[in-house]
Amino acid sequence: MSYLNKIMSPRSVAVIGASNKEHTIGSDIMKRLVEYGFTGKIFPINPKDSEIQGMTAYPSVLEVPEEIDMAVIVINAKYVLSAVDQCHQKGIKGIVVISAGFKETGGAGAELEAKLVNKVREYGMTCVGPNCLGVVNTDPKFRLDACFAESLPVRGDIGFVSQSGALGGGILNILQDLNLGFAQFISIGNQADVNADSAIEYWENVDDVKQILLYMESIADPKRFRALASRTSKKKPIIALKAGRSAAGASAASSHTGSLAGADKAADALLKQSGVIREFSLQDLFNTAKVFSHCPIPNGNRVAIVTNSGGPGIMATDAVCEHGMEIAHLSDQTKEALRSFLPAAASVKNPVDMIASAPLEHYKKTLETVLADDGVDMVVVIYLPFLGLKDIDVAKAVMEIRAAHPDKPIVGVFMTKNEFFAHLSETEVNVPFFMFAEQAVEGLARLNQQRLWRERTDTPAPRYSVDTETVEAVFKQAAADNRVQLTTGESLQVLAAYGVRVCRDGEAKDADEAVALANKIGYPVVMKLNSKKISHKTDVGGVRVGIKDADQLRAEFADLVNKLTEKGLMDGFEGVIIQEMVKSDREMVCGCAKDPQYGQMMMFGLGGVFVEVMKDVTFRLAPLTVEDASDMIHSVKAYKLLAGARGAVPAQINKVEETLLRLSQLVEDFAFIDELDINPLMISGKDGEPIAVDGRIKFNATEALVALSIA
Amino acid sequence: MSYLNKIMSPRSVAVIGASNKEHTIGSDIMKRLVEYGFTGKIFPINPKDSEIQGMTAYPSVLEVPEEIDMAVIVINAKYVLSAVDQCHQKGIKGIVVISAGFKETGGAGAELEAKLVNKVREYGMTCVGPNCLGVVNTDPKFRLDACFAESLPVRGDIGFVSQSGALGGGILNILQDLNLGFAQFISIGNQADVNADSAIEYWENVDDVKQILLYMESIADPKRFRALASRTSKKKPIIALKAGRSAAGASAASSHTGSLAGADKAADALLKQSGVIREFSLQDLFNTAKVFSHCPIPNGNRVAIVTNSGGPGIMATDAVCEHGMEIAHLSDQTKEALRSFLPAAASVKNPVDMIASAPLEHYKKTLETVLADDGVDMVVVIYLPFLGLKDIDVAKAVMEIRAAHPDKPIVGVFMTKNEFFAHLSETEVNVPFFMFAEQAVEGLARLNQQRLWRERTDTPAPRYSVDTETVEAVFKQAAADNRVQLTTGESLQVLAAYGVRVCRDGEAKDADEAVALANKIGYPVVMKLNSKKISHKTDVGGVRVGIKDADQLRAEFADLVNKLTEKGLMDGFEGVIIQEMVKSDREMVCGCAKDPQYGQMMMFGLGGVFVEVMKDVTFRLAPLTVEDASDMIHSVKAYKLLAGARGAVPAQINKVEETLLRLSQLVEDFAFIDELDINPLMISGKDGEPIAVDGRIKFNATEALVALSIA
């Protein structure tokens, strides 16, 4: 069980390492607690001084005569463990270890951190840090600022988790300027115990936190994150900035908080499946938070634009279209109403251009009229300064109207001086104001994304009845042979056992066997090299298609053997696979790869020779929900090919979906599978059925031996 | 000849419509001229008042006893023409018509504007406007503010053209906040005479203008723009925001090239070929301008990052990689030098993380050390506030170092309070400072883009010797037949006449002719429907491939005729085309489509069934330079296929390039061609030669009749 509530909402706090020495963390933390007006009791702990900042100090927590909910530890790393022991003796359940010198310093520090974690687990404590900035709760009931950032916190609705202490501090410094405040802040540091998951779980039911912001460089436990975030994100938006996405960035990340960075594709899939809104820059993160702070979730994606200048109206229109939202069609009634008071030169179509002469009254009436239109879900109001109309007056009018219409999001684009925004930052606002149209529209796009996520209900994939025995037998045989890769034949056998439609085929050791088999399958056939050593068959001429009869088959077989012999590639030769020749002009690819951190990740997209060139593929973590599978299929460009572009037979989309779900079940059941490829997954030109024509499976032999109990 | 110099650098200005009445444009313009301290003479013109703002007013310019360089006209539209007459009589060569009521109001206004243009041309004048905000020149020699924006101009190095008066005014209002100033500003309004081209041409040799910013909604004369901008952009950066991109193109085009094209693609191609840096938001426009204001063009793309916090260092690294630049490898010498003074916990690899405790001295020494490394072309300096180190002190240190190292761009990421930036806006700076890492790195990417453009020298395409007579004959015949579309056979004939390698083929009216032809070409062959009515042959089963012998050919011919008869599609049937069967697994597409505004636009990319699904195509306006053609080929993802991915024979890239250049010559010579498609342009699996297998050409019959003189 988590004692985060003791940490975030304590009635009493001990500061272990409180100090009278200026410019030390032990002094700063004490000052902050006092200055911000912590409503509970503060117990400075210091073995030397008996009074710190006017308060009685105690040599250890054990001497404190009252109960302590939470301890902030700021002493040298080497004394931290014994301090934790004392906390335990005192019955303290929540600790925040600000001290550095743990995992981030490597070797000995990592060992120390391991010991700290063991103690925390053994004592049943909850621990934030180590190597962190601290925690903040702006709830007036607590007013806890146990954090050594430069600025005092500003009250707002954000729950904010930062993996980087430094960056977290930087962000707290500028939040106020950006018109944003937060409810709670947790600097998770090395996330030895408390991580983003714990915060999400805790905040799910904290009403004070209306939206959750995450700065992450790694995700500690992807499975748990998915489970918790996908539930919480239905109630309140979760917005994440995940850094370290380039290979170079990732390597910089590993030398940072002492954490391993995972593949960015996997992180992206995880965030998508968890309903987390991903941002790629701090600025976007803040803009989105600003919009969620002041806007309801809309009922649709139709945007109206009200402006006093054409240019920004066009730019907003461009942005609306680019984000896949709609420019609202105003009703005739709305247009007539607008026409009744706007000048002739104004445009009453969306975007509504009231022209530069628009007085305050026009802003008000136009907004009211547009908001009343049932065809409008969201509104962008644009203001450029003209003819003495003051920005702040327009802003006030917009905010009054917003208050009277709580159901529809309104965002402001005020292309005016910084002082306007500086002024706003000292004011209570109920509308997000931006300087540029693109920022405002991107905010609306995020609201719309949250709407779509809320409307989505994920259905767990059905458990298909499959033939696990065959699969086990195949892996056992391969493991017994000391192989980590299945042959093509074995791979297709495994897929077939899991109900994937594979093309009819069989193995043949020599030309006679090949002909017998082809006669059974029916011509034309494909002949493929079957080798334990060669994985990219095409590269060695190992795939022959469109073989029409027995004579041709014999000739091709002889030719293949000759070629391989010439190249010295006969080692591992097992004969050939004879396959039914599937008539198709559409080749897809699907498969699974295991990321060391995120686990098994499914892939789907355009296959054949285009896979690595076009990179028209998408990823989701296994296990897939029904919606995940459907999402994957619909999110690649090649979906149009499946749907039947240019008169082609439409693919059986439900069968493609089922193929993905069956694969997902396969890799879940056999978690030691490292890589799986169906390439191509051909779409039959006859009836659109997806047919696995080639397959490759690689696995982890050690894990397999354990899992299959044949060690 | 242009008299923009008279307008922008006048020794005397007449204000026609100067007024004593508060809050009128005639009053505001007068005030601005005086307030900003115009260094020349001002002559208010007003038939009623004899004194305006303390200056002698004249009833008309004709009464002014001295010479007048430029007149600003702010009177009612209906009096503008006669004012222009008087200006002419007075010998005034430059006028700025601020008055609205012209083309933007439609019908009568458009007529009035046409009359205005005629007068301006007749009198040999240069005219800015009408319906504009005015002009500004901050050069201390002139100090001309003839513009009714809210704010007084701030001196800087930008030449700024705005098509939207309102937006231009809004931008002037906020420029100072953004630490940007400008040299000259022209609000072109309806661009009846002076447009972006004229400004570019004029500013090319105005030393005061170091960079040119454009806000455009349309490009008046694309050809002229390309000629002028591509020259000027080699000397100074041109940065454009082109709005109205989503409003583009519901064209009823029937070809692939036509349907994938569209006005915004054309604008994009034009800006690329002109060396203009395109931005998609005002914020990006300003950020880029800020970087060009304070940075030299770098010598390479290797970026070093110096930071006191890991997180933003990772974000900067991500951004550098995403913009295709390199993370600089610091030399061992550099690393040793850094190690000598940085603490053990610091990272001396790039990004150099000096850690949170870094004092000012470390910033200075680290920057000096990194700048001295020959492997570093540009530097990002990141600062987060810690431990009492003040942002402004760090900024000053960075600026001092910048002054001592004028050759390498330095950008600052200061994640600190707005007041820092507010303070900067009142200071002289020599380094662009941003709040977020992504903005700073994007700025460096723009510098790098400008470097690459400067290094590029465009070579005009060679004039290939071609057979124009054949082409003329084909078009004449088609025109005589009242057709606007060539048959496949004719299309390939035209392409062949221009030296494009088309696959061997011929037409056959019946099965006997088909067999005779196929015997000549050699089996296997492809048989294609030849119809004057059916353009998408595949959709009606009109393409039969891999025909092995005469028997099969006869059977397929009979089957085709049966099918067409059944479907009632025999009208327009001309027989079939018999073609050599090109062995290829790579199908490209190339072609040309005519945009009503931008003219003929070439396309190249991945062909076959993927064209409209993958949209892996690129566009450039004709005529192509050699570099344009090469650029096109290298900029599509499918380039990897051409280069020979997965063991395929590499395409003859020079032949592909030549094909594009020959097409460019074709559409230049026969400018009445509306659409041209080669799909597929197959890459021979044998030797990589590009072979046009199918072609479609549509043309404008009226234009053709004129051009071919057969009207």
> What are the DSSP calls for B156-221, one per residue?
EEEEEEES-HHHHHHHHHHHGGGT--EEEEEE-TT-SS--HHHHHHHHTT-TT--EEEEEES--S-
* Interface contact B314-A606, CB threshold 8 A: no
- B145, two tokens: 């503010």
* Element of type H or E holding B292: helix B282-294
What residue of A is the nearest CA neighbor of B171? A415
* Interface contact B616-A615, CB threshold 8 A: no
Q: How far is B89 from chain A (nearest CA, A)?
A: 35
Identify any residues that bridge with B355 across adjacent strands, giving them in sequence order: none
* Interface contact A415-B173, CB threshold 8 A: yes
Of A417, A436, A585, the CB nearest to B283: A436
What residue of A is the nearest CA neighbor of B540? A647
Q: Which CATH fold would you assign to the domain A149-294?
A: Rossmann fold (3.40.50)
pLDDT of the residue at A559: 92
Comparing A663-667, B126-130, B253-257, B557-561, the range with the smallest average pLDDT is: B253-257
Residues of B in contact with A314 (CB under 8 A): 217, 243-244, 247
Query: Which of A:393-452 have CB within 8 Å of B?
Result: 415-418, 421-422, 425, 435-439
Of A171, A309, A320, the CB nearest to B167: A309
Which is nearest to B694 in space by CA: B484, B571, B482, B528?
A: B528
Rounded average pLDDT over A114-121: 97
Distance separating the N- and C-terminal Cα atoms of chain B? 37
Q: Backbone dihedral region of A611: left (phi > 0), alpha (psi from -120 to 50 degrees) or beta?
A: alpha
Q: What angle do CA A339, A355, A390 make, to 5 degrees?
A: 115
Q: What is the CATH number of domain B301-455?
A: 3.40.50.261
Comparing A98-107, B248-257, B407-416, B432-441, the range with the smallest average pLDDT is: B248-257
**Percent with pLDDT over 70 in chain B:** 97
pLDDT at B484 over 90: yes
Q: For residues B568 and B170, which has the higher predicted lDDT (pLDDT)?
A: B568
Q: What is the mean pLDDT of chain A?
A: 90
- C-alpha separations of A439 from A163, A283, B518 in Å: 26, 9, 62
What residue of A is the nearest CA neighbor of B216? A311
Chain A and chain B share a number of CB contacts under 8 A equal to 233
pLDDT of the residue at A506: 85
Q: For residues B236 and A696, which has the higher predicted lDDT (pLDDT)?
A: B236
One-letter identity of residue A390: K
State the Cα–Cα distance between residues B134 and B130, nearest whole angstrom.
Answer: 9
- Under the banding of pLDDT at 50, 70 and 90, the label for residue A522 is confident
- C-alpha separations of A172 from A20, A184, A548 in Å: 25, 11, 72
Residues of A in contact with B694 (CB under 8 A): none
User: DSSP per residue over A392-432, as a string?
Assistant: HHHHHHHHHHHHH-TTS-EEEEE---HHHHHHHTTS--SS-
Question: Per residue in B597-634, pLDDT tens?
Answer: 889 999 999 987 777 788 899 999 999 999 999 999 99
* Interface contact A177-B388, CB threshold 8 A: no
Which of A147, A281, A288, A548 should one mutate to test binding to chain B, selecting the residue with the greatest count of B CBs within 10 A? A281
Residues of B in contact with A549 (CB under 8 A): none
What are the two backbone dihedrals, phi and then psi, of residue A398, each rounded to the nearest 5 degrees?
-60, -40
Question: Per residue in B20-47, pLDDT tens?
Answer: 998 888 999 999 999 999 999 999 999 9
pLDDT at A255 over 50: no
Half-sphere exposure of B528 (CA within 13 A, CB side): 25
Which of A24, A99, A148, A174 should one mutate to test binding to chain B, selecting the residue with the greatest count of B CBs within 10 A? A174
Residues of B in contact with A439 (CB under 8 A): 283
pLDDT of the residue at A176: 74
Q: What share of chain A is helix, strand, coil (3-state, %, to 5)?
A: 40, 20, 35
Q: Which CATH fold would you assign to the domain A300-455?
A: Rossmann fold (3.40.50)
Q: Does A374 touch chain B (CB under 8 A)?
A: no
Q: Does A249 touch chain B (CB under 8 A)?
A: yes
What residue of A is the nearest CA neighbor of B217? A311
Of A171, A345, A613, the CB nearest to B637: A613
- Under the banding of pLDDT at 50, 70 and 90, the label for residue A490 is very high
Q: How far is B194 from chain A (nearest CA, A)?
A: 19
Of A177, A246, A385, the CB nearest to B322: A246
Question: How does A30-49 read in b/e, with b if 16+ C-beta sit within 10 Å?
Answer: bebbeebebebbbbbbbeee
Residues of B in contact with A281 (CB under 8 A): 315, 436-438
Question: Per residue in A221-252, pLDDT tens?
Answer: 999 999 999 999 999 999 999 887 665 555 55
* Interface contact B311-A345, CB threshold 8 A: no
Rounded average pLDDT over A377-404: 92
Of A249, A308, A437, the CB nearest to B321: A249
pLDDT at B282 over 60: yes
Of A105, A252, A311, the CB nearest to B345: A105
Q: Does A548 touch chain B (CB under 8 A)?
A: no
Q: Does B108 touch chain A (CB under 8 A)?
A: no
- B618, two tokens: 């690129």
ipTM exceeds 0.90, yes or no: no
> To which residue do tokens 């046409």 refer?
B114
Identify any residues that bridge with B506 across adjacent strands, giving them in sequence order: B578
pLDDT of the residue at A248: 54
Cα torsion angle, A633, A635, A639, A643, sign? positive
Q: What is the mean pLDDT of chain B?
A: 91
Rounded average pLDDT over A552-558: 93
* Interface contact A438-B309, CB threshold 8 A: no
pLDDT of the residue at B430: 93
What are the sequence ranges of the domains in chain A?
Answer: 1-133, 149-294, 300-455, 504-581, 586-707
Residues of B in contact with A424 (CB under 8 A): none
Q: Are A188 and A213 in contact (CB under 8 A)?
A: no
State the Cα–Cα distance between residues B200 and B194, nearest whole angstrom.
Answer: 10
Comparing A19-23, A111-115, A167-171, A456-460, the range with the smallest average pLDDT is: A167-171
What residue of B is the nearest CA neighbor of A179? B418
Of A164, A246, A435, the CB nearest to B318: A246
* Element of type H or E holding B1: none
Question: Per residue in A408-418, pLDDT tens?
Answer: 999 999 998 88
State the Cα–Cα distance between residues A124 and A115, nearest whole angstrom.
Answer: 14
What counts of helices (H) and strands (E) characterise chain A?
25, 30
Which is nearest to B371 in space by CA: B394, B340, B402?
A: B402
Q: Give the helix ranges, DSSP H, for A462-549.
A: 468-480, 488-497, 511-521
Q: Backbone dihedral region of A135: left (phi > 0), alpha (psi from -120 to 50 degrees) or beta?
A: beta
Q: What is the CATH number of domain B586-707?
A: 3.30.470.20
Q: Which of A688-702, B209-223, B438-452 has the highest mean pLDDT?
A: B438-452
Q: Is B45 helix (H, G, I), strand (E, B) or coil?
A: strand
Q: Does A317 touch chain B (CB under 8 A)?
A: yes
- A695, two tokens: 């397959």
* Interface contact A174-B418, CB threshold 8 A: yes
Q: What angle do CA A122, A125, A128 make, to 5 degrees?
A: 125
- B342, two tokens: 């940085």
> To which residue do tokens 């303290």 refer?
A92
pLDDT at B143 over 80: yes
Q: Does A610 touch chain B (CB under 8 A)?
A: yes
State the Cα–Cα distance between residues B297 and A76, nearest whole angstrom.
Answer: 48
Q: Does B288 touch chain A (CB under 8 A)?
A: no
* Interface contact A318-B23, CB threshold 8 A: no
pLDDT of the residue at B331: 97
Which is nearest to B205 in space by CA: B223, B220, B219, B184?
A: B184
Q: Does B649 touch chain A (CB under 8 A)?
A: no
Residues of B in contact with A171 (CB under 8 A): 415
* Interface contact A645-B173, CB threshold 8 A: no
Q: How far is B314 from chain A (nearest CA, A)?
A: 5
* Interface contact B436-A248, CB threshold 8 A: no
- The CATH number of A504-581 is which of 3.30.1490.20, 3.30.300.30, 3.90.1150.10, 3.40.50.2300? 3.30.1490.20
* Interface contact B435-A174, CB threshold 8 A: yes
Comparing A402-416, B242-256, B474-488, the range with the smallest average pLDDT is: B242-256
Q: Does B650 touch chain A (CB under 8 A)?
A: no
Residues of B in contact with A150 (CB under 8 A): 385-386
Q: What is the CATH number of domain A1-133?
A: 3.40.50.720
* Element of type H or E holding A113: helix A107-123
pLDDT of the residue at A262: 42
**Cβ neighbours of residue A646 closer than 8 Å, sequence gap 6 or more:** B536, B538, B539, B609, B612
pLDDT at B261 over 60: no
Question: How does B363-381 read in b/e, with b if 16+ C-beta sit within 10 Å?
Answer: bebbbebbbebeebbbbbb
Q: Does B466 touch chain A (CB under 8 A)?
A: no
Long-range contacts of B222-226 (CB under 8 A, 24+ apart): B222/B266, B222/B270, B222/B597, B222/B598, B222/B599, B222/B621, B223/B599, B224/B197, B225/B196, B225/B197, B225/B200, B225/B270, B225/B274, B226/B270, B226/B273, B226/B274, B226/B621
* Interface contact B418-A646, CB threshold 8 A: no
Q: For residues B582 and A651, which has the higher predicted lDDT (pLDDT)?
A: A651
Q: Which CATH architecture has domain B4-209?
A: 3-Layer(aba) Sandwich (3.40)
pLDDT of the residue at B602: 96
Q: Does B357 touch chain A (CB under 8 A)?
A: no
Q: How far is B173 from chain A (nearest CA, A)?
A: 7
Q: Does B174 touch chain A (CB under 8 A)?
A: yes
User: DSSP per residue over B617-631, as a string?
Assistant: EEEEESSPBHHHHHH
How far, rounded to the nearest angstrom, does the alpha carbon of residue A519 sit from its chain's CA centroid? 51
pLDDT at B251 over 70: no
- Under the banding of pLDDT at 50, 70 and 90, the label for residue B417 is confident
Two domains, one topology: B301-455 and B504-581: no
- Under the banding of pLDDT at 50, 70 and 90, the label for residue A263 is low
pLDDT of the residue at B247: 45
Residues of A in contact with B308 (CB under 8 A): 166
Rounded average pLDDT over A597-601: 86
Residues of A in contact with B425 (CB under 8 A): 418
Rounded average pLDDT over A290-316: 93
Which is nearest to A211 in space by CA: A153, A136, A159, A280?
A: A159
Question: Per residue in A65-92, pLDDT tens?
Answer: 999 999 999 999 999 999 999 999 999 9
